[in-house]
């Protein structure tokens, strides 16, 4: 996907968040409890985040992986469907040693 289109896509996701037009899947809610992630953490990470991966052929429709940081500077990866905006899952990439580059933007191929 072209950089300009990714920017427009992310702007639309951020706009949906600002308007409260998003939902969390049951899977995401379970992972949030398991991983001590609050909804406010997700909102903060989306507000200042960026798309690091795009999945146009995801099984439930196009989605993307967003990297952002909580107010306490904890990194979060948030998988988000695009239309409608559903948060599929989230996790702290620093807890997945060896899977991500130091800046958490690139997946390390094994």
From the number of C-beta atoms within 10 Å of its C-beta (0-12, 13-18, 19+), residue 17 rates as middle
Residue with the bigger pLDDT between 7 and 51: it is 51
> Of 95, 32, 28, 92, whose CA–CA distance to 63 is shortest?
28
Tens-place pLDDT, residues 21-41: 999 999 999 999 999 999 999
44: pLDDT strictly greater than 80: yes
Three-class secondary structure of residue 55 per DSSP: strand
Tens-place pLDDT, residues 46-91: 999 999 999 988 887 889 999 999 999 999 999 999 889 999 999 9
Give the model's pLDDT for residue 82. Answer: 86
Domain ranges, ordered by start, for the chain: 3-95
Q: Give the pairing type, strands 86-91 and 23-24.
A: parallel
């Amino acid at each position: 996907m072209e950089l300009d289109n990714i920017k427009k896509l992310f702007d639309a996701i951020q706009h949906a968040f600002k308007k409260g037009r998003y939902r969390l899947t049951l899977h995401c809610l379970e992972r949030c409890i398991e991983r001590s992630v609050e909804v406010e953490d997700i909102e903060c990470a989306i507000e200042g985040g960026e798309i690091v991966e795009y999945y146009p052929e995801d099984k439930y429709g196009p989605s993307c992986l967003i990297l952002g940081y909580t107010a306490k500077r904890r990194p979060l990866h948030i998988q988000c469907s695009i239309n409608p905006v559903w948060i599929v899952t989230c996790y702290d990439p620093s807890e997945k040693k060896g899977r991500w580059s130091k800046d958490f933007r690139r997946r390390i191929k094994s």
